[in-house]
Amino acid sequence: MTATLPEAHADAPEPPDRRTGELTARELGRWGWRQLTSMRTALVLLLLLALAAIPGSVIPQEGVDSLKTSRWQAQHPDLTPIYDRLGLFSVYDSAWFAAIYMLLMISLVGCIIPRLLVYWRALRAQPPAAPRHLSRLPVHVYYKTDEAPGEVLARAAAVLKERGYRLRVSTGSTAGESWVAAERGYLREAGNLLFHLAVVVVLMGFATGGLFGYKGGVIVPVGTGFTNNPTQYDDLDPGSLFDADAMEPFRFTLDRFDIDWIDSGPRQGMARGFNAHLTYYEDLDAPAKTYDLRVNHPLSIGGTQVFLIGHGYAPVITVRDGNGDLVYGGPTPFLPEDAGFRSFGVVKVPDARPQPIGLEGLFFPTYLEVNGDPVNVMGEAKNPTISMLAYTGDLGMDDGDGQSIYELDKSKLTQLKKADGSMFRVDLQPGMTVDLPNGAGTVTFEGVTEWTRLQISRTPGMHVTLGGVVLALIGLLLSLFIRPRRVWVRADVSEGGVTHVDVGGLDRSTAGDVEAEVSQVVAGLRQFDEQAHGPAQPGLAPEKENS
Amino acid sequence: MTNQAWETLSNQAVAAAGVVYFLSLLSYLVQWASLRHVPGYVPVERTTSSRVAVGAGAPAAPQEPPAAEAPSYRAEMTGRLGLLLLALACALHLVSLVGRGMAADPNRVPWGNMYEFTLAGTFVVAAMFLLTRRRLGLAWAAPLVVAIVLTLLMVAVIWLYDPVAPLTEALNSYWLVIHVVSAIIATGTFTLGGLCSVLYLVKERRPDTRVGFLSRVPQPPALDRAAYRLHAFAFPVWTFAVLITGPIWAHQAWSSYWNWDPKEVWAFITWVVYAAYLHARATAGWRGRNAAYLALLGVATLWFNFIGINYFSTNTQHGYASISQPGVTPSGRLAK
């Protein structure tokens, strides 16, 4: 945006030996620049920005929920390539969205810089001289008085000064040359400019966070730990200029996770009071500290923050293979499928012999069999049960492609069946063990522990953004509620020693309502002679000014 | 009082407020009916420039019927009665809100779900009207405001009702007070401003109507100014709600101050549209009618965000329309 600026304001006199082509190009550039920085263009760009933001709220976004996005893409194979090409899965990072807000920024800066200069001049200028015909102003009051013009104008100056006006007094001797000009409300334009500049600050802060920051998520079962480096994350979404070496070297362990299940009332079954008790070390050799990580109460370590954003169950499952060797053990996070925390999970045992084993199935926190169907009653683990199908064969983990730990690739697996060929399921409650058919091994459900999903993020420039928005709000308030006004008072003596007083008011904002202001000024002017002369006449100009 | 008693009180107060709003509406309608043949507006002799009398502070003043054609006794009585009933209904409305807050355990602000938000929002519309009717010369709009409040209140009671319940964990924050109250105030005021803009557009087509309701509606410039003032009040409040407190809270609860959540996107769209409205009022060729259309577009996005996103969008973290989601859910790709 800054690159185009100097050129646009290059109003240097043109050299005489200029060829015509150059002039045209420059004129074209200038014309284009004027168009771009016009209020109307800014308005259209604003509306375009609003319009462009809509698709992102309708189509699942890669950066917001990539799981949902990939599901949507799988369901709409025809639309996906088109949408993908249009950038509709990441609207807010797309070139066309960026084009709109960059144009808006340029338009804004281009609009603001000339106005800054104008404002700087206006700030030091005197109020403009009184127009010849005050009666032509939107608000005009006229009255006659016995007081001398000097007296009236002195009082006008005092009244207007008291009301916060900047004054300019003319005491000419010729008719129409003695007046007081007054102006106030200079802060409105200052607020306006502040608002627009603050928008630029906000965007810069926002961009800083997006470029240099990162956010990542990790599922941490109770009793396990986490060290802050990229390999430890389940998913990591770094900014394009993010430097992994700059990550704070903290680590923590999740000692305990508390949760309150509401067991009565309209929110029965809802959980609250999540509390993850962490022990953390800010550095490799820093002392241990503890923190109760709760929703809305993130842990800050340096510039990085740790948030509690999810929880679920991790059944502790042990698998022994056909040789009786312990080949798998420990908490296995299952992903909740509904509000009742019926959860889906996968166990992959590539080291089992004679054949690798895969398990896939559900975890029921409170299991109940209703008419032969498994039902999960609530989220609280009152009757924890796992119900899984068992497979043997190639788990496909050696293909080199990263594989989700929550999905079982069954293409090369055989489902285990009972010896009589009927359905075999690993249905276990804590402490129970089942033998897999064909001597494949045994599965033990040791018990249940919980996991928490933590989001860890670093957002540099956050306070710049916040400061920018606050400045924008202050600017907005000034520009909306400060009323810039001009008031002129002219006093002339006519034959007979009667003084004609004209008061004119001009509202320079769009809110208009300068009548009340002028009437108060007039009331101040006439505080001594109201009784003597009756009310002022609205609008009717004295004869001599009629033209 | 027990929580149950508070909840009952709240429900009864809503019902009572509904009835009294309705009586107020009836009273205003009788006022309309009794004024239907009385000219409400006598065109002033047009002078070269529209000058305004000194001391005529209220923008509506020039449209007041001349003293000679004073409205009938019945019209005056029903007008006063309507206002009285409106104030009474507003007080009952407040009682119902307080009751909702007191019924919760622990006590909390009464805007934790859509029912409560609508209850609070309509209260703001009614209260805002009572507060500004003199200042902005909106007295004539009473029957419309009452009709809107009554309709929204009925929608809330019939479709959005939820029993008093504890908050989900993410909502359990003092930002609920600050963020949502500012959103409610802005929503209520934008709604009232939108009403002024609608009337501006209607009146602008037939500014010289002499009888009927339209004749009692102020002239377009006054309407435009009233609409502008309401919007100018609501816009900074909305900015505060959507672009300051919202991100701060989002950062605390969800780890990122701007998530491009559909609710956030639409709040931003609303903000942009109202910014365009304020901008349009200062842009040649857009003043007046086009600006008013923008204000209406703003109200549409505002209410779509509140109702549409909560009901139709499945991927918002602001989904308080139902509790089908666990308090916090895992999201994002979980591939290792």
What is chain A's pLDDT, residue by residue, as a tens digit (547 residues)? 333 334 444 444 445 565 555 567 778 888 888 888 787 888 888 889 889 988 888 888 887 777 778 888 888 889 889 998 888 888 888 888 889 988 988 988 888 888 899 999 888 888 888 888 888 888 888 888 888 888 888 888 888 998 889 998 888 767 778 889 999 888 988 998 999 999 889 988 988 888 888 888 899 999 999 999 888 888 888 888 888 888 888 999 999 999 888 877 777 777 878 899 999 999 888 899 999 998 889 999 988 999 988 889 999 999 998 888 999 998 999 988 887 889 999 999 988 888 899 999 999 999 988 887 888 888 888 899 999 999 998 888 776 566 777 888 888 888 988 888 888 888 999 999 999 988 889 999 999 999 998 989 998 888 999 999 999 999 999 988 888 889 999 888 877 778 888 898 888 776 667 888 888 888 888 877 655 555 555 554 443 333 3
CB contact under 8 A, B255 and A215: yes
CB contact under 8 A, A296 and B285: no
Tokens 């916060």 appear where?
A164
What pLDDT is recorded for position B295?
95
ipTM of the complex: 0.82
Cβ proximity of A480 and B232 under 8 Å:
yes
Collect all residues with Cβ–Cβ distance below 8 Å to B117 and sequence separation of at least 6: B111, B180, B184, B306
Across the interface, which of A46, A266, A379 has its CB nearest the CB of B279?
A46
The DSSP bridge pattern shows strands A271-281 and A251-261 to be antiparallel
Model pTM?
0.82
CB contact under 8 A, A270 and B243: no
Top residue of A40, A44, A45, A64 to mutate, by most chain B CBs within 10 Å, is: A64
User: How many angstroms separate the Cα of A300 from the Cα of each of A293, A464, B336?
Assistant: 10, 18, 26
Q: Quick: pLDDT tens for B49-102.
A: 334 444 333 344 444 444 444 557 888 888 899 999 999 999 999 999 999 988
| Helix axes of B246-254 and B262-280: crossing angle, nearest 10 degrees | 170
* Residues of A whose CB is below 8 A from B163: 266
Compute how many other C-beta atoms are within 10 angstroms of the C-beta atom of residue A90. Answer: 18
Top residue of A57, A453, A481 to mutate, by most chain B CBs within 10 Å, is: A57
Name the nearest CA neighbour of A363 among A310, A304, A429, A437.
A429
Structure tokens of A292? 């109760």
DSSP H or E segment with residue B249: helix B246-254
The dihedral region occupied by A5, where left means phi > 0, alpha psi between -120 and 50, and beta the remainder, is alpha
Collect all residues with Cβ–Cβ distance below 8 Å to B15 and sequence separation of at least 6: B157
Q: How far is B81 from chain A (nearest CA, A)?
A: 31
d(CA B171, CA B163): 17
The amino acid at A214:
Y
The dihedral region occupied by A372, where left means phi > 0, alpha psi between -120 and 50, and beta the remainder, is left
Q: How far is B293 from chain A (nearest CA, A)?
A: 13
User: How many angstroms separate the Cα of A538 from the Cα of each of A144, A513, B218?
Assistant: 12, 15, 21
Structure tokens of A220? 């941490």
Top residue of A304, A309, A408, A471 to mutate, by most chain B CBs within 10 Å, is: A309
Among the residues of A287-440, which ranges form H helices? none
The dihedral region occupied by A142, where left means phi > 0, alpha psi between -120 and 50, and beta the remainder, is beta
Residue of B nearest to A136 (CA): B49
The DSSP bridge pattern shows strands A432-435 and A441-458 to be antiparallel
Across the interface, which of A70, A272, A465 has its CB nearest the CB of B327?
A272
Sheet containing A139-145: give its strands across.
Answer: A166-171, A178-184, A485-493, A499-507, A139-145, A537-538
CA angle A530, A536, A540 (to 5 degrees): 160
Across the interface, which of A53, A65, A510 has its CB nearest the CB of B282?
A510
The DSSP bridge pattern shows strands A413-415 and A367-370 to be unpaired
What pLDDT is recorded for position A361?
92
Buried/exposed B89-119: b ≥16 CB within 10 Å, e otherwise: bbebbbbbbebbbbbbeeebbbbbbbbbbbb
Cβ proximity of B240 and B305 under 8 Å:
no
Across the interface, which of A50, A234, A477 has its CB nearest the CB of B236?
A477
* Residues of A whose CB is below 8 A from B222: none
d(CA A408, CA B148): 55
What is the rounded end-to-end Cα distance, in angstroms, of chain B? 54
Name the nearest CA neighbour of A91 among A67, A66, A45, A57.
A57
